[in-house]
Structure 1
């Protein structure tokens, strides 16, 4: 299955200044039996968004006007640390988030974002202070993956961010890991299979079936 292609994105950014927001906060462990991506958005940050009886916590940032269904999160250090559960990424994607900006990420969470159509942007602390302030002020954000630039409000100078070329290509095209292999090495795979069919036809019984 391919992910949703990522090219440009604009909108408000949810400010989460706390460090070490781990995957159990993002997607509580008791929901891990839910393995279907569809509908997981309602579980993102569940125990912070909702009370024990299911009512919204009115002062939680994701429940406040201006940040409901915002496509960006601006977070503190080590965002997405902890368990490798991929549902954490599925959940924030389902909640409408397509880009997370932080000074650092949990390594597996970072990789899972890129595999599922979410752009993780890592910025140094000196830039993060201004980015967090802009998010808290409700400033609009815009990101262009092709040019690798992030703009806040009417700021004249965009912020440049780094991303691995392979991850960029996959996000721009909406490729999951299987699609990456097929698009980058498809011709080589076809050539190998053609040669192997000729020299080892017994490996391809459908070719000789009556």
Structure 2
């Protein structure tokens, strides 16, 4: 009789071996379905939206890199030949002031997208830098107001950056009280 009770526990252990198959089958079947659903409905839409908006930043970089101060195809700049004097002509405004890392949220993004720009303004007035320094809070407010009123679509359209350039020049001139700023050069332009 001692052997009979030993047999029964072995059978009950054998019966327990079948139970781990149920959770294993559930895991094997449910995990791929959940993974597929998360990939299809969460991960891929997020990637598409970030890649779709990432095009604006790369588009901006290509515009910035393609513009420049190269010589035209009509010839060289005249630097290699003999030159009699200083008749280079008007070099444009010589007085500058630099704004570094101006950051603001873009309009229509509910605070999820921002614009970071650095730029330099130039004008022929010798007091340009001192005027901007004296009214820096007012000028900075005008710049941030102008930048934050733009949408991503405003910046993506052809000529959008030039329209922003003109709007910034106008805003800065209004903030300092007269037309001192004549040119604006973007040195950094990032949409994130």
TM range (shorter): under 0.3
Task: Normalising by structure 1, report the TM-score.
Answer: 0.18
Larger radius of gyration: 2
Higher-helix-fraction structure: 2
Task: Normalising by structure 2, report the TM-score.
Answer: 0.19
